[in-house]
Structure formats: C-alpha cells, structure tokens
A and B are shown apart, each in its own frame.
Chain A
Amino acid sequence: MDFSNFLKLNQEAGLVAVLLVLLICDMFGGEGPKRWLRPTACTLFAVLTAIGFFLPATGEAFGGMYVSTPMTVLMKSLLNLGTLFVFLQSGQWLRSDAALRLREGEFYVITLATLLGCCVMISAANFMMLYIAVELASLPVACLAAFNKYKEESAEAGAKYILISALSSGIMMFGLSYLYGAMGTLYFDGMASMTANAVTVIGFVFFFAGLGFKLSLVPFHLWVADVYQGAPTGATAYLSVVSKAAAGFVLMFTLYHVFGGMEAVWHTLLRWIAAATIVVGNLFAIRQQNIKRFFAFSSISQAGYLLLGIMCGTAQGMASTVFYVLVYLFSNLAAFGVVAAVENQSGRTDIAGYNGFFKTNPGLAAIMMLAVFSLAGIPPLAGFFSKFFIFSAAAAKGEYVLLFVALANTVVSLYYYLLIVKAMFVNPAEEQPIGRIRPDGYNRLSLIVCTVAIVLIGIFSYFYEYIDSISTGMKQLN
C-alpha cells in the first residue's frame, strides 16, 4: 500500500490527530490538564483550519475514491471555520454546571468526529465512501443533540434526530442500490454516463430524498424544529451551519458529477422543491415564539435559496452557492453566539425575552441586528451580495418564475427578521428583563470576527472572485 495517499488527506488526517490528542487528554488527564482542554482544542483546531487555507493538498487517493480539488479544500476550510466558532461559543455552556464540565472533552471529540464525516463526504468520489461518510457525519450529531442527558428536551431531540437520520440514510441507500443495479459501479466517474430511465430516476429520487432530510428541504423538514429547539445551542449551531452546508455541497457535487446526464429530470424536481422550501420555511417562521425554533425555520428557507444556487448547474451557480454558505455561516453563527450567551446566563430562549434587549445590552443587540439583517439580505451587508449572486446565477439560467417566488419571499423573510429587531429595539422591556449579559472571552472573539466578516465580506470582492476562479460547472459528457 502506498502511504503517500494520506498526504492528500491532510485536512482529514489533521482532524484525526486533533481528535486523538483531545481524546487522550480527556481520558487520562487529571484535573490539571482538563483545565487546558478548551484552549488546546481551540488552538489546535485554529491551526488546522489555517493549514487548510495555506497548505492545500490536491489530487486523487485510494484508487479514485477520494478526490481533493481546490474547491473541496475551500469547502472543508469553511466547515472547519464554522466548527471553530461553535467551539468558541459553547465553552461557556459546557462550564455552566458540574455534570457538563465533566464531559467537556466529549463534546469536542464528538463534534470533531462528525466534522471528519462532513469533510470526507465532500471529497468522496464513490458512493460507498459517500455513504460511510454521511453516517459518520450524522451518528455523532445525535449524541450532540442528546448531550444534555438530564434534560427531557435534549433527550427527545436526540431520539428524533437519530431515528430520522437512520430512516433517511436507509432511503438514500435504497436509491443507491438501484443506481448500482443500473450502472454496475459505484464510482462517480463510472456513473457519469447515466441517462434518464425508469431505474435511474427511481434511484435518483430516493437518493435525493435521503439527502433532502439532511439538508432539511421541504417535504423532509418536519424534524428540524424540534431537534433545533431541544438540542443544546452549540449543537443547534453546528447542525444549522456545518452539517447543512456539507449536505448541500454533496448534493451539488453528485448532481454535477453523477446525474449530469439527467439534468432535465432533476431540474424539474428541484425547481418545485426549492420553491416549496423557501415558502414553507418562511411562513412557519413568522409564528414562532422560541428563538431556536425561529432560526430552525429561517434555516429551512435559507436551504431553499441554497438549492436555487445548486440547481443552476453552472460554474456561476457553484460559486454563488459556496459564497452563500460562507456568508450564511458568519451571519447564522453571529446570531447563535448571541442566543447562546443569553441562554447561558438567563436560561431564556423565547423571543419575548428579548424585549427591551437594546436597553440592557446595546452591543449584543447590535450584533444580533446585523446578523438578522444579513440573513434577510439588506445592503450593504454580506447577505445582500450572497442573495444577489444566487439570484443572478438563477436569472442567467432563465429561472424567472422561481426567481420571482424567491424575491417575494425575501420580503416576507424581512418581516419576521424585523420582528426580532422590533423586540430588541422597540418593544418595552418586561418587568424582569434579561440583565446585562457577559459572554466570555472566547464567545466575544467569535462574535467580533463574525460581525466584521458580515460587514466586510460583501464589500471586498476578493472572496467572491477567489471562489469564482476555482468553481467548475457540470462535467461535460463526451
């Protein structure tokens, strides 16, 4: 066996190394080393993220089962970055009581395990590899959702997540079995000659349904609200950003590299699903009282916009999707950082709790406002540019009806995002408002970075130009 293969997996190998170091520290370290667990986790992981950005490795490994291109390296770095913010934001919660403090290391190890799954999933060029990676990415998330063992909501969220994810991977596998029956291979390259016939269409629909659960597209979105609400806020942030982004990237790669020959079929399917996802996500978000549930539905509708970019099938579509994820990552994590800080200190997750938030916490209220404005797409924040690029990619493809639906829904989304801003700035405070919230240093760092990114990423064109320069469209059939 040629061990130089592993050099091409430098991001994954680095993840495994960090994971093992943390696991050993957690298992064998006494009280002393455990105090250093969190700084070590964050530092090692920051170094790893930097490695992805500055020392990318590209090429094929394991007989073509694993492919690394500049694009996959960038996507994995984005996921790393998102997870780093989750680490920074969840430390305060992990230290809030003795039972949790005992299991602090577990949280890091489990999160890194699912991140490893997400990374391999993006690079997979074989459906068996893809399936294993999807499982590796989703099983530990159930443990994360059920992390607060003694809270009923958390246990419930874990159960809902594991059952739904097992069902969805079963459905996905069923689709894969038909695709294998039709094509006789599981390699993406070998399957690229696929054309639409009864067997491949059945296979594709089941496969897509399986991924749709992970991406929380509309007919498959029913688990999202309960899991997001019940899971600890750190796990919710991870689910809504990292695991959703990974599923989106995988959907994009499989559509472009495997199902290119049946574009007419999936284009019709995705058009309806994207419209339904955007509309349903928005309509349900309006009436939510709990802020985590609210962000669950908002993230469903954001997944719809993501799908709009994915379905273009052009290099422009890929660039706009990746840029959208980049912006969504910063905006959503800024919002979740504030939610986590508030929840840790006051225990409140209802939107009414934010009434008069500006009076007591002007800084956090401003960050929250920027985050939701960016999610809604108000210029000059980054969210405006990311939506604009998605829309222009869709327009270049001639999707005018869908574009109109999406644009109209941007207005609807502005309404419910403004409800939060109204609660914070306009509504009078309750008799016992949330007091002054002090996020710890780590969380403060993550909030500052996210806010700066929200403001600057859209204005500096460097980011989009770089993503655009490494994007590729659908593989041309020969």
Chain B
Amino acid sequence: MIPMEYYLTVSTLMFFIGVFGFISRKNLLAVLISIELILNSVEINFSIFNRYLYPDHMEGMFFSLFGIAISAAESAVAIAVIINIYRTTQNIDVRQINKMKN
C-alpha cells in the first residue's frame, strides 16, 4: 500500500498552490479555481486520515462528502456574483475591481 505521507504531501502541495493562486491570479474565475484546489486538498486529507488511521469509523469520509456538496454550493454563489460583476463592469479582472480604493 502507498504510505500515507505520500498522499499528505500531495494534498499539502495542492493546498499551498491553491493559496498561491488565490493571491497571484488576476482573473476572478482563476481565483475561484484556486479555491477549489484548496477545498479538494482538504477532502483528500480527511479521506486519507480516515482510511489509514481510523478505518473503523466513517467520520472523515462523511466530512469529505459534505465538503464536496458545500464547495459546489459555494462555487454556485461565487459564479453568480462574478456574472453580476461582469454585467456591471464588463470585466472580471481583479485589478479592475477597485472602485472603493481611497
């Protein structure tokens, strides 16, 4: 069996790539994709801890399932908001969304 650390390395990498993408990407949709990376890395974590360390309960798996459903809801709302931005400004570039800077 593949050791647990390998999975954890992948998920941690995914998490920080997501955080980096959230900070550095200029397109709102790309920012949203970065957030999805973060959420997916967490779901890997939960499943792996559950599978390797505590196989007799299913709590971690359930958390992953709920997490997937919630992240879907989250991206639905986020996309709705982004569409709304596009309608008002014809643009989804993060640098252009600075109407309130003062």
Contact B32 A163 (CB under 8 A): yes
Task: Write out the residue numbers on chain A whose beta carbons fall within 8 Å of the beta carbon of B87.
Answer: 149, 155
- Interface segment, one of A177-185, A326-334, A405-413: A177-185
Task: Write out the residue numbers on chain B whose beta carbons fall within 8 Å of the beta carbon of A160.
Answer: 97
B13 within 8 A of A: no
Known A167-B38, A181-B49, A229-B100: A155·B70 in contact at CB below 8 Å: no
Interface of B is mostly: helix
Shortest CB distance B97–A (Å): 5
B99 within 8 A of A: yes
Chain B: interface size category: 35 or more
Shortest CB distance A37–B (Å): 23
A286 within 8 A of B: no
Partner of B84, one of A135, A146, A166, A178: A146
A220 within 8 A of B: no
Known A142-B77, A174-B45, A180-B63: A167·B88 in contact at CB below 8 Å: no
User: Complex formed: what's the CA distance from A149 to B31 in Å?
Assistant: 22
Known A135-B73, A142-B77, A156-B100: A163·B88 in contact at CB below 8 Å: no
Contact A174 B66 (CB under 8 A): no
Task: Write out the residue numbers on chain A whose beta carbons fall within 8 Å of the beta carbon of B45.
Answer: 174, 177-178, 181
Contact A166 B49 (CB under 8 A): no
Task: Write out the residue numbers on chain A whose beta carbons fall within 8 Å of the beta carbon of B54.
Answer: 184
User: Complex formed: what's the CA distance from A170 to B81 in Å?
Assistant: 19
Contact A173 B42 (CB under 8 A): yes
Task: Write out the residue numbers on chain B whose beta carbons fall within 8 Å of the beta carbon of A468.
Answer: none
User: Complex formed: what's the CA distance from A11 to B85 in Å?
Assistant: 36
Contact A158 B81 (CB under 8 A): yes
Task: Write out the residue numbers on chain B whose beta carbons fall within 8 Å of the beta carbon of A135.
Answer: 70, 73-74
Interface of A is mostly: helix
Interface string of A1-15 (1 = CB under 8 A from B): 000000000000000
Known A167-B38, A174-B41, A177-B42: A152·B77 in contact at CB below 8 Å: no
Task: Write out the residue numbers on chain B whose beta carbons fall within 8 Å of the beta carbon of A143.
Answer: 77, 80-81
Task: Write out the residue numbers on chain A whose beta carbons fall within 8 Å of the beta carbon of B67.
Answer: 131, 173
A186 within 8 A of B: yes
Contact B31 A132 (CB under 8 A): no
Partner of B46, one of A171, A177, A229: A177
Interface string of B62-96 (1 = CB under 8 A from A): 11001100110110011011101101110000000
User: Complex formed: what's the CA distance from A173 to B84 in Å?
Assistant: 28
Shortest CB distance A39–B (Å): 30
Contact A155 B84 (CB under 8 A): yes
User: Complex formed: what's the CA distance from A135 to B68 in Å?
Assistant: 12
Task: Write out the residue numbers on chain A whose beta carbons fall within 8 Å of the beta carbon of B28.
Answer: 159, 163
Contact B41 A186 (CB under 8 A): no
Partner of B53, one of A132, A184, A230: A184
* 8 A Cβ contacts from A165-214 to B: 166-167, 169-171, 173-174, 176-178, 180-181, 184-186
User: Complex formed: what's the CA distance from A177 to B82 in Å?
Assistant: 29
Contact A131 B81 (CB under 8 A): no
A269 within 8 A of B: no
Contact B70 A132 (CB under 8 A): yes
Contact B38 A170 (CB under 8 A): yes
Taking CB as reference atom, which chain B residue is nearest A228?
B100
A226 within 8 A of B: yes
Taking CB as reference atom, which chain A residue is nearest B62?
A128
Known: A160-B97, A162-B74, A170-B42. 12 other contacts (CB 8 A): A135-B73, A153-B100, A155-B89, A159-B84, A163-B28, A163-B31, A170-B35, A173-B67, A177-B45, A177-B49, A180-B50, A181-B53
Question: Which residues of A pack against B, CB within 8 Å?
Answer: 127-128, 131-132, 135, 139, 142-143, 146, 149-153, 155-160, 162-163, 166-167, 169-171, 173-174, 176-178, 180-181, 184-186, 225-226, 229-230, 289-290
Question: Which residues of B pack against A, CB within 8 Å?
Answer: 15, 18-19, 22, 28, 31-32, 35, 38-39, 41-42, 45-46, 49-50, 53-54, 57, 59-60, 62-63, 66-67, 70-71, 73-74, 77-78, 80-82, 84-85, 87-89, 97, 99-100, 102
